[in-house]
Amino acid sequence: MRGSAKPQYCVGLDCGSAHTRCVICVNEDGRLRFVGHGIIESIGWQKGRIGDPIAVSTCIQAAVQQAEAEAQAAIDSVVAGVGGSTIEGGTNRGVYEFGRPRPITQDELTFAADRASRVRLENHRTLINVFPQDFNLDGRAGYRNPRGVTCSRLEANVYILTVATQEHDSLVTAVHHAHFGVEETMFEPAAAAYAAILPEDRARGVALLDIGLHSSDFIVYDGDAVVLALSLPLCADHFTRDVAFGLKAAYEDAERLKIEYGCAILGLTADNSLIEVPSAEGREPREAPRRILNDILEARAEQLFYMIKTELARIGMDQSLFEGIVLTGGGAMLNGMCDMAERVLNLQASNGLVHGIKDWPGELDDPSWTVAAGLAMYSGRLKMKRESKPRAPGLVGLILK
């Protein structure tokens, strides 16, 4: 930072069903440095939707205040993550007629993409992000960034992401009730991809799966363009419930067994070992083969990645992800998830860890923090771009250069 200029704080807020996470970074001459984080166990959520806005607001306030205390800073606004079962995506096209041939400017690219984003939505849908894919120039397709190229007709192809208005407004209202503004909302896997995947890797084709407690959100990049974004009806909660049912254990005990002894693929743990399964009050704990636990988890993990495989085949990307798939979220931390992804999808898989933030602490170097970090990075880039020249909100692909 120069001289005594006021620090520019960039804040990401990941409101999950399991935990509410906040990351604060400070912009130092165009580079973000980590200064604080906060994490609070979430309450007020019901199967991935806000059931008690006041409780959610309390969690948000507590997580941000915890991060503020570590950062020794006071913040007034955040970029909030959005995901869940009400996410819907699709492509659209916007046309900009110049009238006569002339070189294309960045403003004209943004204007064409903005036109493509102006779709007529149903009353209960809200537009959250627009991801430019490519451009057509006088009928010639396939231009990714044609600044300076001469044409008379510019067409922008974009991928539009919407969410249920009620869910979106409930989240924004909860943030406001915690006394913070919302700079923008962003699809959580896109934020995670921004933090964990380099631009050149996105250009070679890559997918990211964010596995949360009550939703598994998915995004696919091809040639640096988003070609698919959706939410899958299978999440970490299903794994735990399967264990609770299969081992006849309480939900909390099943979660602990999953974390401590679970594996998403057989063969990575000793098949002949035993685990202690707590019984109901008044009864002695039982022993069960660890193999039973892992059989349960393997079946559910296999189902999840076959869903992914079906979606990739549907858009013709099942053989085109040269950088594989990246896993983020708390559900990605289950042992063996990357191995199962590689077995089912026949491509490389890795956990998505944060890159590009100076002083990122080692204790946060796991996939559950990637979304919050990406949201903070997006906040920083928004601030830098808006300082240089205002842009239309939501045009992620043109902003994040």
User: Hey, what amino acid is at 333?
Assistant: M
User: Hey, what amino acid is at 252?
Assistant: E
Instruction: Give me the sign of the Cα torsion angle 74, 175, 351, 195.
Output: negative
Residue linked to tokens 């083969």? 289
The 10 Å Cβ neighbour count of residue 375 is: 32
Q: Where are the alpha helices (DSSP H) in 204-268?
A: 236-247, 251-261
User: Hey, what amino acid is at 368?
Assistant: S
How much of the chain exceeds pLDDT 70, in percent?
Answer: 95
As a whole number of Å, the end-to-end CA separation of the chain is 22
103: β partners? 150
pLDDT by residue for the chain (401 residues), tens only, comes to 444 578 999 999 999 999 999 999 999 988 999 999 999 999 999 988 999 999 999 999 999 999 999 999 999 999 999 999 999 999 999 999 998 999 999 899 989 988 898 888 888 999 999 998 999 999 998 898 899 999 999 999 999 999 999 999 999 999 999 999 999 999 999 999 999 999 888 889 999 999 999 999 999 999 879 999 999 999 999 999 999 999 999 999 999 999 999 999 987 777 678 999 988 877 888 999 999 999 999 999 999 999 999 999 999 999 999 999 999 999 999 999 999 999 999 999 999 999 999 999 999 999 999 999 999 999 999 988 776 654 454 555 443 44
Rounded-to-integer distance, Cα 59 and Cα 41, Å: 7
The 10 Å Cβ neighbour count of residue 280 is: 8
Q: Minimal CA–CA distance to 155: which of 203, 196, 104?
A: 104
- Taking only the tens place, the pLDDT of each residue in 372-392 is 999 999 999 998 877 665 445
Rounded-to-integer distance, Cα 180 and Cα 363, Å: 27
Are 372 and 22 in contact, with CB atoms under 8 Å apart? yes
Burial of 350 (0-12, 13-18, 19+ CB in 10 A): middle
User: Hey, what amino acid is at 165?
Assistant: T
Helix, strand, or coil (residue 141): strand
What are φ and ψ of residue 355, in 5° steps? -125, 150
pTM of the model: 0.92
What are φ and ψ of residue 206, in 5° steps? -155, 155
The domains of the chain, with CATH numbers, are: 8-85+166-197+353-391 (3.30.420.40), 89-161 (3.30.1490.110), 198-351 (3.30.420.40)
- Provide the pairing of β-strand 88-103 with 206-211: unpaired
Residue linked to tokens 């974009």? 158
- Taking only the tens place, the pLDDT of each residue in 10-51 is 999 999 999 999 999 999 988 999 999 999 999 999 988 999
Q: Where are the alpha helices (DSSP H) in 35-187?
A: 53-71, 106-117, 165-177
